[in-house]
Amino acid sequence: MELKSFWALVSWFGVAVALAAQAGGVLSIGPVGKLTARRNEVAEVRVPVLLQPGYHVNSNTPSEAYLIPLRLTWEKGPLEVLSIVFPKPKLEKYDFSPNPISVFTGNFEIVTRFRVAASAESGPGIVVGKLRYQACTASACLPPKTVEVRLPTQIR
């Protein structure tokens, strides 16, 4: 096998591994507990985020302008978002940046505080959120991705 062909094969294999990792779920959402609350009440929900070993995601406050931040958004509905609280990020040094960058690694939780609308209909429902992220290793980043967060609700 020629050296050129060998390196083409190695490159193709690297791309295939990266794509398989992205498709296989480098980041996933753990079970989100049901939010049970009355109209006008404030309630809190914890969204467990599970990140595969060897990967990091940029924090919600990245240290460089070109880095894609972690973002959680919720669709409009019976719950009004009061705040979204991310854990304290870690500052880690990677070869691609002269400065440490603000990242999350491992498993962590994002907490959202909601107020139930006064006009919310009683009964069960689902509120949908979107978590946008870009997973990276120490040497390469995967394309940005968005995963759905489904929050079961019971309004009283």
Q: Which CATH number does the domain housing residue 88 bear?
A: 2.60.40.1250
Reply yes or no on whether the pLDDT at 97 is more than 60: yes
Reply yes or no on whether the pLDDT at 15 is more than 70: no
Spatial contact of 21 and 142, defined as CB atoms under 8 Å apart: yes
Kindly report the number of other CB atoms within 10 A of residue 49's CB atom.
Answer: 23
Which of 3-12, 52-61, 100-109 is the least confident region? 3-12
pTM: 0.83
Helix (H, G, I), strand (E, B) or coil at 110: strand
Residue 63: both structure tokens together: 């240290």
Element (H, E) at 5: helix 3-23
Strand partners, 116: 79
Q: What is the pLDDT of residues 57-91, one digit of tens each?
A: 999 999 999 999 999 999 999 999 999 999 999 99
Could you give the CA distance from residue 29 to residue 41 in angstroms, rounded to a whole number? 26
Could you give the CA distance from residue 35 to residue 51 in angstroms, rounded to a whole number? 24
Mean pLDDT taken over the chain: 88
Total domains in the chain come to 1
Nearest to 49 by CA among 144, 122, 133, 127: 133
Which residue range(s) make up the domain with 124?
A: 3-155
Nearest to 124 by CA among 84, 87, 156, 150: 156
